[in-house]
């Protein structure tokens, strides 16, 4: 039960393939009789043009690629939903890949997508990625590119990010205003752009309120599950913070687990705040205040810019950077 082709239709109707092709795509220069004939037969036989043949010919696919570190992460899965919301409306399929924080996987995924002629690419860099020549390469090949969230300064492309500085500033300030002085900042690997922006926001808030920055209160950790545990225990044990400001879903949860496991006394009121898109923050005890990154919005914006670039065949080297504001949700425990 192989798929039917234009050639089959042509043979069955005693026409040439070109006539059939033209009839199918509704060319003017064609007899309405034969046109109807072809259309009906195609319908009856459930004909669909072979997208691969089309891509080979036209060098495009009506699909855009998305590469994220992990989909098992609220931020990224919501961002993807934002991307799909606009892409699907405009007739593009969204092909999703994960790099699993691996540079090698990121490379392999890009090769696959570009090889299959995606019309554009949205990417959030893996934690391992420092060299971005693979992205520059696809830009040279003319593939429209938008980098979101995990961006890099090395690459000149359109970028969409949350306003990490502002979010971190507000989060830290709220902790200060609630009376904290020793605010631990448990965050992502230091080479990530988002990490440095958040650190800046954290520092700025401290400075504004005359609190000296203490680098011992800042801890970076990678993506290995064991690592966070250790790092968090260490800062809790040695630095005795009175509040914790975390940089991701996972770090927030790991911090909770650590505090509970060690039965450490951190005053409850507004003591925890995290960059997180967790749906459960208000159900935790104490409730977790959040700096919500507008993931859906970020994805949507990134996709809009990408599609704009694709459809207007703009230069792939545009360098707009859009910052989407974050939203702080303060939650105080009722005890």
Three-state DSSP class for residue 146: strand
**Within 207-246, which residues bind a second copy (CB under 8 A)?**
none
Q: What are 286's two structure tokens? A: 């104490």
What is the C-alpha separation between 335 and 333, in angstroms, rounded?
6
Determine if residue 270 is left, alpha or beta; phi over 0 gives left, psi from -120 to 50 gives alpha, anything else beta. left
Of residues 42 and 206, the one with the C-beta less far from a second copy: 42
Q: What are 243's two structure tokens? A: 């509040």
Could you say whether residue 35 binds DNA (CB under 7 A)? yes
Q: Which of 5, 17, 34, 74 binds a second copy (CB under 8 A)?
A: 74
In 10 A of CB 305, how many CB atoms?
24
Going by C-alpha positions, the residue among 272, 119, 120 that lies closest to residue 184 is: 272
Could you say whether residue 3 binds DNA (CB under 7 A)? yes
Stretch that binds a second copy, among 14-22, 25-33, 75-83, 226-234 (CB under 8 A): 75-83
What is the C-alpha separation between 268 and 133, in angstroms, rounded?
47
Q: From the list a second copy, DNA, none, which binds 88 (C-beta under 5 to 8 Å, kind-based)?
A: a second copy
Q: What are 74's two structure tokens? A: 């609220």
Write down the H helix ranges in 116-178.
133-140, 164-177
Q: Which of 22, 180, 185, 250 binds DNA (CB under 7 A)?
A: 22
310, 282 contact by CB (below 8 A): no
Could you say whether residue 328 binds a second copy (CB under 8 A)? no
Could you say whether residue 56 binds DNA (CB under 7 A)? yes
Could you say whether residue 84 binds a second copy (CB under 8 A)? yes
Sheet with strand 183-187: strands edge to edge: 218-220, 183-187, 243-246, 272-275, 289-292, 327-329
**Residue 24: CB partners within 8 Å, gap ≥ 6?**
6, 38, 39, 42, 47, 49
**Within 111-170, which residues bind a second copy (CB under 8 A)?**
111-112, 115-117, 140-142
Q: From the list DNA, a second copy, none, which binds 105 (C-beta under 5 to 8 Å, kind-based)?
A: a second copy
Q: Does 331 sit behind a cis peptide bond, omega within 30 degrees of 0 on the bond before it?
A: no
Of residues 142 and 267, the one with the C-beta less far from a second copy: 142
What minimum distance in Å lies between the beta carbon of 176 and a second copy?
Answer: 26
What minimum distance in Å lies between the beta carbon of 198 and a second copy?
Answer: 22
Q: Which residues contact DNA (rule: CB under 7 A)?
A: 2-3, 5-7, 14-19, 21-22, 24-25, 28-35, 48-50, 53-54, 56-58
Interacting residue ranges for a second copy, rule: CB under 8 A: 1-3, 48, 50-53, 55-56, 63, 70-72, 74, 77-78, 80-81, 84, 88, 93-98, 100, 105, 108-109, 111-112, 115-117, 140-142, 253, 256-257, 260, 278-280, 282-285
């Amino acid at each position: 039960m192989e798929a039917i082709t234009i050639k089959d239709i042509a043979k069955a109707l005693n026409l040439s393939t070109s006539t059939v092709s033209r009839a199918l795509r509704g060319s003017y220069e064609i007899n309405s009789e034969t046109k109807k004939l072809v259309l009906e037969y195609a319908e009856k036989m459930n004909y669909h043009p072979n997208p691969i043949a089309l891509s080979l010919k036209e060098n495009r696919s009506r699909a855009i690629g998305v590469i994220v570190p992990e989909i098992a992460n609220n931020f990224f899965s919501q961002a993807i939903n934002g991307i799909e919301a606009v892409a699907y409306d405009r007739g593009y399929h969204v092909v999703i890949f994960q790099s699993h924080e691996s540079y090698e996987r990121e490379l392999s995924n890009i090769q696959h997508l570009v090889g299959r002629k995606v019309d554009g690419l949205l990417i959030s860099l893996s934690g391992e990625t420092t060299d971005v020549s693979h992205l520059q390469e696809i830009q040279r090949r003319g593939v429209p590119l938008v980098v979101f969230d995990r961006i890099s300064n090395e690459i000149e492309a359109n970028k969409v990010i949350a306003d990490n500085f502002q979010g971190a500033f507000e989060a830290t300030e709220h902790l200060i205003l609630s009376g904290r002085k020793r605010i631990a900042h448990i965050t992502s690997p230091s080479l990530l752009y988002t990490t440095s922006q958040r650190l800046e926001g954290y520092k700025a808030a401290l400075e504004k309120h005359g609190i000296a920055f203490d680098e011992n209160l800042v801890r970076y950790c990678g993506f290995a599950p064991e690592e966070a545990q250790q790092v968090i225990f260490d800062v809790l044990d040695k630095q005795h913070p009175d509040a914790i400001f975390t940089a991701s879903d996972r770090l927030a949860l790991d911090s909770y687990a650590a505090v509970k496991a060690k039965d450490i006394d951190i005053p409850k009121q507004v003591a925890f705040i995290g960059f997180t898109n967790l749906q459960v923050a208000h159900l935790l005890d104490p409730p977790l205040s959040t700096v919500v990154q507008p993931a859906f919005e970020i994805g949507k914006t990134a996709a809009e810019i990408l599609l704009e670039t694709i459809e207007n065949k703009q230069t792939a080297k545009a360098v707009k950077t859009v910052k989407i504001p974050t939203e702080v949700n303060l939650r105080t425990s009722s005890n």
